[in-house]
Amino acid sequence: MKFSGKTILVTGASRGIGAAIARALSDAGARVLVHASRPSDEFAGVLADVGFEPGDALIEDLAAPGAGARLFARALDAAPRIDALVNNAGVYAETPLDGPETPWAEGWAANLAVNVQAPADLCRAAIAHFRDHGGGVVVNIASRAGHRGDAIDGAGYAASKGAILAMTKTFARALAGENILFYAVAPGWVETRMAPKDIAARATAIADIPLGRVASPEEVAAMTVFLLSGACPSATGATFDINGASYVR
């Protein structure tokens, strides 16, 4: 799959899944606009790997109001034509059911701001841009939790990922006729900082995965690159599960 001449915006690209996606797209020939919430050595490493041009590194805190729209506008300043968007950036903020109300409210607010509002605003801006340029592609990185739920203190996170899945389906149904394609990828545990590191917790997580291991970021990246390639437009609106058969729909 070749992406020569294509420009793709990837959010949350400083590490983990986002970094793997950015590197895979760069290897396939795309110009990758890489986003992070803040500068870091990890982000600098990704930039070096993708051979970035001036302006391709975009810093924006997606928890801030209006951040998604600002980020897409800055991406257009760097590249007048954007062919695809990967909404990968996300947070896991616990929403503890018991105890004080403040952590509950703050957790919900963080999950909704970063995992729902910012991607929605980015999708809105991308759709307007794609309509002026004959189409485009969006891949939204969701989660297994959006289908099967999460631990009780992860209700806010699970709900936010469920919202992303519903949004993806809605836009796909409405916009396929305009050659604007939407896909969702729903990983289970992936070998990133969010994966359980405690020995007992990790053993419990792996015991729930028939494949016997957590997924690698590169596996999620491979699926994302395939969806962005245009090889199967008829799959628009679909969600692709990457969870080692731990949740089979």
Catalytic residues: 157
Label the pairing between strands 180-187 and 239-242.
parallel
Residue 139 vs residues 57, 123, 142, 176, 208: alpha-carbon distances, Å: 20, 10, 9, 14, 27
- Each as own residue / partner, the long-range contacts of residues 237-240 (CB below 8 Å, 24 or more positions apart, any chain) are 237/168, 237/169, 237/172, 237/173, 237/176, 237/182, 237/183, 238/183, 238/184, 239/142, 239/147, 239/165, 239/168, 239/183, 239/184, 239/185, 239/186, 240/183, 240/184, 240/185, 240/186
Question: Exposed e or buried b for every residue in 202-241, given b needs 16+ CB within 10 A?
Answer: eeebbeebeeeebbebebbbbbbbbbbebeeeeebbebbb
In order, the DSSP letters of 135-150 are: -EEEEEE--THHHH--
